[in-house]
Structures are given as structure tokens and as C-alpha cells.
């Protein structure tokens, strides 16, 4: 454990005394509070296990080519449903009407060319429950001729003969999707995977049969599931369990009442991609590189970035992820997401067996999560579920749109309004209140849908209750400091995020006031499961705080990576240090520094930088050291490149293609 310079604190600090920070201490008469970089490990070895105790991954076994000479290849295959181009209004209404679609569904699979009939075999030494998914890869835009179908199946072969274990007709048409299969294998023997084309007009078809994620499950001890639920763009202070007066989150609040609520959790970035990069890797953005652009790298050197890609880089390949660590430990892993930044193109899919990009809103995500959980019952499961509600545009379905708002979404003219119009133009107080009300309605809608996940695990037949982590990537500014949305500042409304950890039998209900970081989630999960931590993580396990074994010990916070820079923000890049009761924001170039005394000024409204130059100087020195340590010897990663369809999806959420508009009257859009 490496403590930072120890300081004393009191609610009645003398502002002038704070300047003594440069000397390493503050005079006060209050109790001592420690600020540290890490905490002691406290591994909870309740259910330590390895995957081969519960199931066997058949993709890791050797195979024999069938009589046709077919040789499968292990690949990642992405199947999904193309969605027609929609206007902002059409997309909003599709989501509000409960529509759903799977735009992308990536799985590890055996692929074998399919001409007429193909097969290959795998030897298994014991019986069990077989789980796999059938799929077909075809050239983009090519449909099967009328009357042509594809049969796929698995046979069990022994000296006593051949028994069909599973078979199905898989006919890709307007959409490509996986067909999940569950079947019993009676004992040791040979599993023959086969596929065949049936019907006339087969010549020249370039098809491959795919058998995804085949596994054999054994009857063994129960293992605790790991469920990470993330609600994009969710402010902590809009949840009842964080003190909000509105009843936006009764189901999340019930989860909080049974778990550990971390009241002061700092996200490592004010926008999606670098924040999730830190959640998945327990590294700072400067190290994991996801979303980092040239402007972030030249921050300490001055000068201007030269034609950097606004979207930055992808997650660096050399670092482990939470999903890869749990997969290595024997978990089946799945990630379901709505934000286009989490696409496999950004590197976020690493370690997930199944990784699907969904549309449109929370009901589709919960439906898919429950489908996956039911299909994999009996296996150790790690599920990451990311909901897009309450990201812009705020358009909750009825009745949630009028739960807090006097106006329904359908009654608003020209809604959703162009994000640029809301972001850059002055808004009336009435419109601000309306959008804030709709934002709360989005939270209430997501909360209601999440109750279905919680209810699944509350069934009496579920004897081993899961480890559930609930969090958000970042918050949302609703004109707290005169601006709107996220990605443009380092204020509390963007960086303070909810963090709730529930693990019945291992963690008692508790509220933790001490400062923690999102990078601490990965090592905390591993500690709670009794698993070894990968080397090189920047975060630390929070188990000692969660169990009340440490108090008044805060973790030094660091955040970075601005998405929307000048002229919307006072800087193109900024770094943040949270330590000793202070929050220091250092922008690039000539951006003025910001200094807030957070215990006295939680809303960060009183910038003390000019009044406390000694504090600024000391915290700037420590911030530079923290940044260099966080970055280490990180290499550059690949620059992100998105195709036209993906760019369109990002634009729908306001990420790209949204320049400041000319002044406009906008009277028609003003709520009446």
C-alpha cells in the first residue's frame, strides 16, 4: 500500500490553511483521513473453481475430419439483422413501441465450408448436457434460391450405432441469426457435427456452416454467477438510493438495500468508450487507449494536435479484460450492449463468448439477457448488460414519459429535437425542466425493466445468489454548469457514477462514503470470487471497504479524455486529480485551472484556483506524476475507423456529425 501525503481534514477548514498542502499537510482539529493509491487484498475464497469442474469447452478439443474431408476452422462469426435507415423520429418511435433487433451477434464457432454435405467429429470421455448454436455464413446480400434449405445437427456415435442428439433446419433469409440448441449426450463416445444443403439450385453457393460455443455441461457444484449491469449516462444523484426525492428507481433501490452502496465513485472519463475501457481493464484511458486521441497525448507538451481521429484509438490488444479473466477461470461470458462505441471494432468484445449489439431500448436488452441466462443455466455465467436508457434522445415509452413530465413525448412538436439545437442554443427554463423530467422517466423505465433480471435470480430454486454489480459509465449535465449532455467537462454530474455491489452471504448491506474509482471494479470482482488478479492492474480491490474493515481511507482519483472540446468546452483535453478533499482540473493550452474544495462545495460552483496558487501548484505536480504513472510505457493502438452504417448509429446518439448550428428562432420546438 502506497499512501499519498497524509493530510488532516475537518468540515470547517480555513481556506488559507489549504495553501500549506504544498508542504505536505493541513492544519485542522478533525480526525485524520488517509488518501492512498491502493488497499490490501482480501480474497473471499467461497467458491474458487476452475471451468473444467463444471463444463467442457469442445472448441478446445481435437477433431477429426468427416468422410467428406471437411476441416473446420475456429473463427469469430458475426450474425445480425440489418435495420433499415430511419429518421430520428422513426427510430425513437420504434424504441418506444417495444421494437427490438440484433444488429450484431458475434460468437466463437467452428466454421466448415458447405457444398453438399459436410461433417467432423470430436471424442468426449463422458456424457453431459450439450449446448451449442447453429448458424450459416453467406455472402452479404445473397439469398438462398427458393426451395434450398440447410439441415444441421449433432449425432452421438458409439460401437452400438448412431443416435441423433440434435437437428434443425437453418434457412437464412432476410436476417441471419443463431439457433440455440440444448441436448443430452448419454455417455462417452463420438460427437459428429454435420450440415447439408437440400433442394435444387445449390451450385455456386458460397456458404459455411457454423457450430458456435459447443460445450458439455456436467452435474457438479453450483457456482456463483457474475452479473454486471451498466446503465449508460446515469447520474448517481438521480437514484433514490443516492438521495433523489423522486421515485425513479424503486428496483435499483431494493438492490442497494441488500448490497454495498459506494457513495463516491469516480468514473475515469466523462464519455462512453474510455470509461468502459477502464471498467473492463482496470487501467486508466492513457494506458488502455480506448477512445484516446492525439489531443490527449500532447496535453502535457503543448501544441496542437495534427489531424487526429476524433474517435481516437481502440482498446490495446496486450491487456487482459474482466471478460477474458473470467473466461480463463471457467465462466461462460456474454455481453449485450446498445451503445455503438462498444462494437468489436473498438476491442471491447475481447473475452466474451457471445457479444451482441442490440436495438432499441431496455426491454430488448433484458429480453436477450434472460434468454441467454436460461439457455446457460447450470453453467458458471458472466453477463455484462449495458442499457442505453437514459441516453439522448430522452424518449421513454408510456406511461414513463408522463411519470414526471406534464407533457407526453407524442405531444411534443418535431421531437426529438436536433441535439445541436439543444446543446448550443439557449434554452428556456421550461424546456430545461421538460428534458430533465423526461430524463427521469428514462431512468424509471430502465429500472422497471431491470426488475425482470432481479426477479429471475430471486426465484426460490436459485440457491446460489449472484454477484451483481450495478454502475454507469458516466453521468449527464442538465445545465448544472450552464451546458448540456456529456463528454465536455470534468464536473461531478459527469464523473460521479453509481456503484452498487450485491453478493448475499459474502457482503452485508452497507454504505461506503470513502472515495473509490471505476477501475476498482475488476479487481473487486476477482477478489470476491477468490480468483487470482492479472498482473498490471491500476485499480485495487474494494473488499476491505465493502466489509467495513477500513474506514476513512480514500482512494486518489484520476480521470481524463474530453470528447467535445473547443468551442463548446474551455479545453480540448483535461485531466483530473481528486485527493486530500480537493478536486483539481487541468486543461490544455491556456485553459484556466479549476480547483474545488469538494466537502464544502460538492456542486463544484466555487473555483478556488486563483485564491490558492500553492494548492494548484502542488496538485498539478502530483497530477503530472499520476498521469505519467497511469500511462506507463503504453504503446499506441489502432486508430478507430467506422463504416457508414456505424457512423449513422453514432450520429443517432449525438456523437458525430453534430456541428454547432447557426442562430435559429426555434419557436416551434418550445414546449407549450
Question: Do residues 294 and 437 share a domain?
Answer: yes
Question: Do residues 142 and 272 share a domain?
Answer: no
In a domain, residue 642? The reply is no
Please state whether beta strands 553-555 and 484-485 pair in parallel, antiparallel, or not at all (unpaired): unpaired
Question: Do residues 316 and 388 share a domain?
Answer: yes
The domain boundary, picked from 217, 242, 273, lies at 217
DSSP 521-570: HHHHHHHHHTPPPPTT-S----HHHHTTS--SEEEPEEEE--SS-TTTSS
Question: Do residues 395 and 434 share a domain?
Answer: yes
In a domain, residue 3? The reply is no
Distance, in Å, from the CA atom of 219 to the CA atom of 669, rounded to the nearest integer, reads 61
Question: Do residues 206 and 328 share a domain?
Answer: no
Q: pLDDT tens for residues 587-613?
A: 988 889 999 999 899 999 999 999 999
In a domain, residue 466? The reply is yes
C-alpha cell at position 219: 452435474
24, 5 Cβ separation under 8 angstroms: yes
The domain boundary, picked from 509, 538, 558, lies at 558
Question: Do residues 419 and 528 share a domain?
Answer: yes
This prediction has a pTM of 0.88
The H-assigned helical ranges of 157-262 are 250-257
Question: Do residues 207 and 236 share a domain?
Answer: no
Q: pLDDT tens for residues 136-173?
A: 888 776 777 777 788 999 999 988 889 999 999 887 66
**% of the chain residues with pLDDT over 90:** 54
Distance, in Å, from the CA atom of 486 to the CA atom of 512, rounded to the nearest integer, reads 26
At which residue does the C-alpha cell 470547517 appear? 12
Question: Do residues 146 and 253 share a domain?
Answer: no
Question: Do residues 256 and 131 share a domain?
Answer: no
In a domain, residue 586? The reply is no
How many structural domains does the chain have? 2
Burial of 8 (0-12, 13-18, 19+ CB in 10 A): middle
Distance, in Å, from the CA atom of 288 to the CA atom of 64, rounded to the nearest integer, reads 40
In a domain, residue 409? The reply is yes
Residue ranges making up the domain that contains 460: 226-558
Q: pLDDT tens for residues 533-555?
A: 999 999 999 999 999 999 899 99
State the CB neighbour count (10 A cutoff) for residue 514: 19
Question: Do residues 235 and 281 share a domain?
Answer: yes
Please state whether beta strands 226-231 and 381-387 pair in parallel, antiparallel, or not at all (unpaired): parallel
At which residue does the C-alpha cell 448488460 appear? 385
Grouping H, G, I as helix, E, B as strand and the rest as coil, residue 437 is: helix
- Nearest by Cα to 568 from 439, 475, 482: 482
Q: pLDDT tens for residues 2-30?
A: 333 322 232 323 233 333 333 343 333 33
Helices and strands (DSSP H and E) totals, the chain: 14, 28
CATH number assigned to the domain comprising residue 116: 2.60.120.1060
286: Cα separation from own chain's centroid: 18
Strand blocks (E) in 465-505: 467-471, 477-478, 484-485, 496-502
In a domain, residue 17? The reply is no
In a domain, residue 250? The reply is yes
Rg (CA), the chain: 26
In a domain, residue 670? The reply is no
Question: Do residues 213 and 260 share a domain?
Answer: no
The domain boundary, picked from 170, 190, 217, lies at 217
At which residue does the C-alpha cell 441466462 appear? 373
Question: Do residues 417 and 463 share a domain?
Answer: yes
pLDDT (0 to 100) of residue 377: 86
Amino acid at each position: 500500500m502506497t499512501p499519498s501525503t497524509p493530510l488532516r481534514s475537518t468540515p470547517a477548514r480555513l481556506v488559507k490553511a489549504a495553501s500549506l498542502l504544498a508542504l505536505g499537510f493541513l492544519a485542522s482539529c478533525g480526525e485524520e483521513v488517509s488518501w492512498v493509491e491502493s488497499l490490501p487484498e482480501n480474497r473471499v475464497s467461497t467458491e474458487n473453481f476452475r471451468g473444467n469442474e463444471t463444463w467442457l469447452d469442445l472448441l478446445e478439443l481435437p477433431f477429426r475430419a468427416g468422410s467428406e474431408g471437411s476441416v473446420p476452422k475456429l473463427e469469430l462469426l458475426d450474425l445480425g439483422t440489418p435495420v433499415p435507415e430511419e429518421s430520428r423520429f422513426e427510430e425513437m418511435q420504434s424504441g418506444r413501441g417495444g421494437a427490438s433487433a440484433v444488429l450484431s451477434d458475434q460468437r466463437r464457432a467452428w466454421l466448415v465450408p458447405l457444398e453438399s454435405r459436410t461433417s467432423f467429429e470430436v471424442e468426449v470421455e463422458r456424457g453431459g448436457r450439450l449446448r451449442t448454436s447453429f448458424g450459416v455464413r453467406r455472402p452479404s446480400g445473397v439469398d438462398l434460391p427458393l426451395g434450398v434449405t440447410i439441415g444441421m445437427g449433432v449425432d452421438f456415435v458409439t460401437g452400438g450405432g448412431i443416435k441423433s442428439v440434435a437437428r434443425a433446419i437453418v434457412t437464412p433469409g432476410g436476417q441471419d441469426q443463431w439457433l440455440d440448441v440444448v441436448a443430452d449426450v448419454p455417455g462417452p463416445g463420438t460427437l459428429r457435427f454435420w450440415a447439408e444443403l437440400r433442394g435444387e439450385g445449390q451450385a455456386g453457393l458460397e456458404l459455411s456452416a457454423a457450430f458456435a460455443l459447443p460445450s458439455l455441461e456436467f452435474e457438479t457444484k453450483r457456482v456463483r454467477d457474475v452479473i454486471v449491469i451498466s446503465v449508460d449516462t446515469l447520474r448517481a444523484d438521480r437514484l433514490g438510493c443516492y438521495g433523489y426525492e423522486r421515485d425513479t428507481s424503486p428496483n435499483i433501490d431494493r438492490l442497494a438495500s441488500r448490497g454495498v452502496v459506494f457513495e463516491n465513485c469516480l468514473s475515469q472519463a466523462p464519455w462512453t468508450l474510455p470509461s468502459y475501457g477502464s471498467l473492463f481493464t482496470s487501467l486508466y484511458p492513457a494506458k488502455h487507449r480506448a477512445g484516446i486521441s492525439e489531443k490527449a497525448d500532447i496535453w502535457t507538451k503543448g501544441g496542437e494536435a495534427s489531424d487526429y481521429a476524433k474517435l481516437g484509438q481502440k482498446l490495446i490488444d496486450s491487456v487482459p479484460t474482466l471478460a477474458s479473466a473470467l473466461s480463463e477461470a471457467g465462466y461462460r461470458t456474454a455481453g449485450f450492449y446498445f451503445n455503438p462505441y462498444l462494437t468489436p471494432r473498438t476491442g471491447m468484445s475481447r473475452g466474451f463468448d457471445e457479444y451482441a449489439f442490440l436495438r432499441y431500448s431496455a426491454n430488448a436488452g433484458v429480453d436477450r439477457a434472460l434468454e441467454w441466462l436460461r439457455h446457460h443455466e447450470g453453467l458458471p455465467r458472466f453477463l455484462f448488460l449495458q442499457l442505453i436508457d437514459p441516453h439522448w434522445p430522452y424518449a421513454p415509452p408510456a406511461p414513463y414519459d408522463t411519470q414526471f413530465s406534464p407533457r407526453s413525448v407524442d405531444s411534443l412538436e418535431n421531437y426529438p429535437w436536433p441535439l445541436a439545437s439543444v446543446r448550443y442554443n439557449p434554452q428556456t427554463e421550461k424546456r430545461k425542466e421538460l428534458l430533465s423530467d423526461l430524463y427521469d422517466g428514462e431512468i424509471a423505465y430502465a429500472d422497471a425493466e431491470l426488475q425482470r433480471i432481479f426477479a429471475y435470480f430471486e426465484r426460490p430454486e436459485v440457491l446460489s445468489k449472484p454477484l451483481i454489480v450495478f454502475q454507469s459509465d458516466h453521468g449527464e449535465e442538465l445545465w448544472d454548469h450552464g451546458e448540456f449532455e456529456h463528454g465536455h467537462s470534468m464536473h461531478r454530474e459527469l464523473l460521479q457514477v453509481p456503484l452498487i455491489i450485491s453478493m448475499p452471504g459474502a457482503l452485508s448491506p452497507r454504505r461506503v462514503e470513502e472515495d473509490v474509482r471505476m477501475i476498482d471494479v475488476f479487481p473487486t470482482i476477482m477478489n470476491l470470487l477468490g480468483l487470482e488478479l492479472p498482473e498490471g492492474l491500476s485499480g485495487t480491490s474494494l473488499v476491505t471497504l465493502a466489509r467495513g474493515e477500513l474506514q476513512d481511507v480514500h482512494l486518489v482519483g484520476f480521470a481524463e479524455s474530453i470528447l467535445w472540446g473547443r468551442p463548446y468546452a474551455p479545453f480540448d483535453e483535461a485531466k483530473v486529480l481528486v485527493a486530500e478533499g480537493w478536486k483539481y482540473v487541468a486543461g490544455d493550452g491556456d485553459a484556466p485551472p479549476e480547483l474545488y474544495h469538494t466537502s464544502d462545495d460538492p456542486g463544484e460552483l466555487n473555483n478556488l484556483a486563483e485564491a490558492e496558487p500553492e494548492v494548484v501548484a502542488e496538485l498539478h505536480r502530483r497530477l503530472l506524476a499520476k498521469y505519467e504513472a497511469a500511462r506507463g510505457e503504453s504503446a499506441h493502438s489502432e486508430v478507430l475507423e467506422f463504416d457508414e452504417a456505424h457512423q449513422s448509429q453514432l450520429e443517432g446518439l449525438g456523437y458525430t456529425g453534430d456541428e454547432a448550428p447557426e442562430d435559429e428562432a426555434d419557436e416551434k420546438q418550445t414546449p407549450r
